């Protein structure tokens, strides 16, 4: 079922019932869920980036802002975990966002070793964009029924859980 839904997301149009992603391609793709998820993720990110252009934000910036709109004053480490990035990568993104006037870093008054990140007025003024993901979801689920949307989200959750369990079992061996 998940493969069928992923195929429909990628606009199936060829007789092999596989996504048509490259017209120059002579060998059909194998039915790999990982490949389909990778293509889907790339397309979702590209769509979100294009939809964000009017706001002046990148997708990475929007993701980080969503954490601060819900809980301002998080540490760089907490934001890195939320963003699923290394602390240096999150710190670099935060620095670029500081230059844009969206964020400011301050040392924690109780523990000067800790650096917390806060929204500026400019960053707070964009909080209306917290539900931006629903606009992206709406575009992605354009021709899906409510039941299909719910099933798809549950299946993706299961794929994430299954992959994390397998990774943990491989790490422990």
> What is the spatial distance between Cα 147 and Cα 94, in angstroms, rounded to a whole number?
39
Q: Is 143 exposed, middle or buried (0-12, 13-18, 19+ CB in 10 A)?
A: exposed
SS in 3 state form for the chain?
Answer: CHHHHHHHHCCECCCCCCECCCCCCCCCCCCCHHHHHHHHHHHHHHHHHHHHHHHCCCHHHHHHHHHHHHCCCEEHHHHHHHHCCCHHHHHHHHHHHHHCCCEEEEECCCCCCCEEEEECHHHHCCHHHHHHHHHHHHHHCCCCCHHHHHHHHHHHHHHHHHHHHHHHHHHCC
Mean pLDDT computed over 92-117: 92
Rg (CA), the chain: 20
> What is the spatial distance between Cα 123 and Cα 132, in angstroms, rounded to a whole number?
15
Residue 28's contacts (CB-CB under 8 Å, 6 or more residues apart) are 14, 16, 18
The domains found in the chain, sorted by start residue, are 57-130 (1.10.10.10)
Mean pLDDT computed over 117-130: 96
Q: Which two tokens stand for residue 102?
A: 């969206």
Backbone angles phi, psi at 13, to 5 degrees: -150, 5
Q: Is the pLDDT of residue 22 over 90?
A: no
pLDDT band at 25 (very low <50, low <70, confident <90, very high): low
Q: What is the reported pLDDT for 3?
A: 45
Q: What is the reported pLDDT for 54?
A: 94
Q: pTM (2 decimals)?
A: 0.77
Q: Is the pLDDT of residue 8 over 80?
A: no
Higher pLDDT, residue 20 or 171: 171
- Read off the pLDDT of residues 99-109 as tens digits, 9 standing for 90 and up: 999 999 999 88
Token match 């980080």: residue?
64
What is the percent of the chain with per-residue pLDDT over 70, rounded to a whole number?
86
Q: What is the reported pLDDT for 127?
A: 96
Q: Which two tokens stand for residue 117?
A: 């990140």
- Read off the pLDDT of residues 45-93 as tens digits, 9 standing for 90 and up: 999 999 999 999 999 999 999 999 999 999 999 999 998 899 999 999 9
Residue 74 is classified by DSSP as: E
Q: What is the reported pLDDT for 24?
A: 65
Asked if residues 26 and 59 have their Cβ atoms less than 8 Å apart, the reply is no
């Amino acid at each position: 079922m998940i493969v069928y839904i992923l195929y429909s997301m990628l606009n199936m149009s060829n007789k092999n019932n596989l996504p048509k992603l490259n017209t120059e391609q002579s060998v059909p793709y194998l039915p790999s869920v990982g490949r389909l998820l990778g293509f889907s993720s790339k397309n979702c990110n590209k769509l979100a980036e294009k939809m964000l252009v009017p706001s002046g934000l990148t997708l990475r910036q929007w993701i980080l802002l969503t954490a601060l709109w819900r809980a301002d004053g998080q540490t760089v480490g907490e934001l890195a975990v939320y963003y699923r990035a290394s602390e240096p990568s999150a710190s670099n993104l935060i620095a670029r966002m500081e230059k844009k006037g969206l964020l400011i870093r301050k040392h924690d008054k109780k523990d000067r070793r800790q650096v917390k990140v806060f929204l500026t007025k400019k960053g707070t003024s964009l909080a209306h964009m917290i539900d931006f993901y629903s606009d992206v979801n709406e575009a992605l689920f354009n021709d899906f029924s409510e039941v299909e949307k719910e099933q798809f989200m549950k299946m993706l959750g299961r794929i994430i859980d299954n992959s994390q369990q397998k990774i943990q079992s491989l790490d422990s061996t």
